[in-house]
A and B are shown apart, each in its own frame.
Chain A
Amino acid sequence: MKKLSRRDFLRASAIGSLSAALTHTPWAGLAQDAVTLRLMAWGNPTEFEARQATLQLFHDSTEGINIDFIHTPSDYMTKLLTQIAGGDYPDVIFLGNGDIEPFVARGQLLPLDDFIAGDNFDTSDISQQNLKLYNVDGIQYGFPVDAPNQQLFYNKTLFDEAGVDTPSPDWEDDSWNWEAFLDTAKAVTDKDNGIWGWQVKTGFRAWWIWVTANGGEFFNEAGTECVLNSPEAVEALQFLADLIHVHEVAPPLDVASELGSAELFQSGVTAMETWWPAIGRMRTNIADKFEWNVAPHPGGKAGKTTAGGGTGHTISAFTEHPEESWEFLKFLISTQCVSVWTDIMGIVPPLTSVAESDVFLKPGEPPADILVFTKGNDYLRPDPRHAQFTQARSIAQSQLERLWIGGVSAQEVADDIVAEVNRLL
């Protein structure tokens, strides 16, 4: 009998410890009375490194606030939304600028205006174009973590070998247009040696730049209709498709998708590509394999544009610790934190002071024309803002694959996209 009850006891305690293990283990090193904020963010290993460095900085400089970092490496939006749907709100949320609006519409973000006013918080150092991306109807909901925009990267070594002029870094220079771009791409393409002038990237922003440069739009102003089949947009899409199929200056789609789009440029297969300014990784990956630099994308009918806009930090409307979250948010946009982040990521910082400092400019290291990024902020055309944009983009992306594969015209594909997307609106 005794033996049995002891066994029962063991069993009970086993079940107890089991359920403790089943729910996640609490954050280690919890100081007494300290508030723990939960920060949810994505990030590849480089971003993870930057995140850990800045969190360490916060930990060292702040008393009483611990950060529980929920790192979600993939499927971020799905994960974030399912977690929130589960009633489990992180206090501080890392959010792409295009996602701000739906979150605000659902009342999930905390307005920051009272905090900004109460603290007399000076936002003048923050890049205004980027700050604006986290503002809905005049209310500020977050601060940018970076100010990236996608530019044209080129392999200077390949240009020199082919004896071709490199693109102008000057945003005002009209001679760098689509025609000049095509000539350049043809001149540097050397198919016998497996060198391509360009790579048509399939990501949304990579083609969005061309559409906006030509004066195209995704939605009409009222957001009631998709207008991707306008002559301007269609011309831009056809131009890109022709780079693959007619001019043959860009490799077929599956060559790129096999490698992951970053590899082609970094291994010297393509002479030019669209890339966002995570220069840090580019510097280490290319090292001294070849010389490289950046320039704006060529101007279309509507001039030069760029896409991107980056990501920001926001506070959940349901946080139990708004004061502490605000403290943390202020830290995240501080010169100190942004400098560490910029140093590791090599990404355009959202603070003018840091953007002008050597932390970002890194004199002597490529790209020589790094100011293209900083100036590019004035030409930024962020993602369309619309409640149905996520699904609309998914439709467009799938349909456009047909265009990139070949055999259909941009007009047909754009018409199909418009029909499908309009069904949603």
Chain B
Amino acid sequence: MAVVTAMKTKREKRFRLTYRQAESLTGFVMAAPWILGFLFFVAGPMIASLYLAMTRWDIFTAPKFLGLENFEVLLTDDNLFWKSFRVTTLYAVFSVPLQIAVGLGLAQLLNQKIRLLGMFRSIYYLPSVLSGVSIAIMFRWIFGTQYGLLNTVLGMLGIEKVSWLGNPNIVLISFILMSIWGSGANMLIYLGALQGVPTELYEAAEVDGAGSFRKFFKITVPMITPVIFFTLINGIIVSLQEFQTPFILTDGGPADSSLFIVLYLYRNAFQWFKMGYASAIAWIIFVYVLVLSILVIRSSQAWVYYEGSLRGRGG
């Protein structure tokens, strides 16, 4: 036995260098699909898009180099761009925290000795499974003024008909309500995290006479801040890229009051064929996402609580 092992080590030693080389080679080969994909579908297009952003190009004729003109026009002379920027930001500012709050609330409710826990969890998660086109189409029908479900239910409660998608002052609220309706994904993530919070902490707090509210804000929330941090970043990225919901629900209307920035990009690129201008919009979205993410990451040092034991759990 010992002899065999010795022999193997010896053999390994002799081929050690080539073995390491072989491993490196295999590593490259195995990662090659991703590396190629990264070059052709991410890095290359990004460079190309930066170049395009500095041109005027209708896709049919040769691009014309403009330098920074597109950015200048966008930032100083395009009301619609600023409108879409405001719409998107407002939506993100309200929908992301509300989705977190509702998700957290639901998770907290479910993180008790509850019967039918699995059933409730699945029901709340259902909208996330189906999100996208079908949900948008569904809500187009639910938000109807005359025949919509929401106004019918409100009518039973004696509340007057609301023009959910037809009033420029209300339409964003409708979008936010719809996003809250789909808070199930956050709930699921929080629930996983809550189950990782050590029960001893609660017991200790109870001995100190802490009530449910204090326990929630002093223990639960701090303990799962890493997860909240993750959902916050993710929420920002997703909400700033909202496209299909406004595309299907309102097509940006009424009077551009739900013109999300990606919808404006889509119109420029694929309806008016202003590929250069649209690429400039794409880069502004990219920088905006980047800046917000960095701000959140920077701020996280102040509010995200990292504890080794927590990070290991939950999975």
Contacts and interface: CB of A to CB of B under 8 A. Distances in A.
Contact of B271 (A258, A390, A405): A390
Interface stretch (B38-46, B95-103, B162-170, B202-210): B162-170
Interface stretch (B6-14, B143-151, B278-286, B307-315): B143-151
B273 A81 contact: yes
Contacts of A398: 252-253, 255-256, 259
Interface in B248-267: 252-256, 259, 267
Nearest to A400: B255
Contacts of A399: 255
Contact of B270 (A78, A252, A420): A78
Contacts of A390: 271-272
B59 interface: yes
B165 A254 contact: yes
Interface in B145-197: 145-148, 163, 165-168
Interface in B68-91: 77, 79-80
Contacts of A391: 271-272
Contacts of B60: 84-85, 106, 108
Nearest to A82: B270
Interface string A73-102: 000011001101100000000000000000
A24 interface: no
A85 B163 contact: no
Contact of A253 (B166, B271, B273): B166
Nearest to B250: A257
A423 B77 contact: yes
Nearest to B164: A254
A258 B254 contact: no
Contacts of A401: 168, 253-255
A119 B279 CA distance: 48
Contacts of B148: 258
Interface in A90-125: 106, 108
Contacts of A78: 270-271
Nearest to B270: A78
A399 B256 CA distance: 8
A interface SS class? helix
Nearest to A254: B166
A258 B147 contact: yes
A391 B277 CA distance: 14
Contact of A420 (B79, B144, B168): B79
A164 interface: no
B313 to A, nearest CB: 42
A85 B267 CA distance: 16
A259 B147 CA distance: 9
B271 A77 contact: yes
B267 A254 contact: no
B interface SS class? loop
Contact of B144 (A81, A82, A258): A258
Contact of B255 (A258, A405, A420): A405
A254, A255, A391: most-surrounded residue (chain B CB, <10 A): A254
Given A254-B163, A254-B165, A254-B166, A402 B271 contact: no
Contacts of B165: 254, 257
Contacts of B61: 106
Contacts of B168: 401-402, 405
A112 B254 CA distance: 43
Contacts of B252: 398
A86 to B, nearest CB: 9
A55 B144 CA distance: 40
Interface in A11-63: none
Contacts of A402: 168, 254-255
A85 B59 contact: yes
B147 to A, nearest CB: 7
Contact of A257 (B79, B166, B273): B166
A394 interface: yes
Nearest to A84: B60
Contacts of A255: 145-146
Contacts of A423: 77
A399 B259 CA distance: 12
A239 to B, nearest CB: 20
B175 to A, nearest CB: 16
Contacts of B271: 77-78, 390-391, 394
B59, B267, B273: most-surrounded residue (chain A CB, <10 A): B273
B166 A405 contact: yes
Contacts of A84: 60
Given A85-B273, A258-B147, A405 B167 contact: yes
Interface in A370-391: 390-391
A85 B269 CA distance: 12
A420 B79 CA distance: 8
Contacts of A253: 166, 254
Contacts of B255: 398-399, 401-402, 405
B166 A252 contact: yes
Contacts of B254: 253, 401-402, 405
Interface in A114-138: none
A87 to B, nearest CB: 10
A85 B271 CA distance: 12
Contacts of A394: 267, 271-272
A79 B30 CA distance: 38
A84 to B, nearest CB: 8
Contacts of B256: 398
Nearest to B253: A401
Nearest to B147: A258
A394 B272 CA distance: 10
A101 to B, nearest CB: 14
17 contacts: A81-B273, A82-B270, A85-B59, A85-B60, A253-B254, A254-B167, A258-B146, A258-B147, A394-B271, A398-B253, A399-B255, A401-B253, A401-B254, A402-B254, A402-B255, A405-B166, A405-B168
Which 10 interchain pairs have the tightest Cβ spacing? A254-B166, A401-B255, A402-B255, A85-B59, A401-B254, A258-B144, A254-B163, A254-B145, A398-B256, A391-B272
Interface of B: 59-61, 77, 79-80, 144-148, 163, 165-168, 252-256, 259, 267, 270-273
Given A78-B270, A108-B60, A254-B167, 7 more contacts: A84-B60, A253-B254, A258-B146, A258-B147, A399-B255, A401-B254, A402-B255
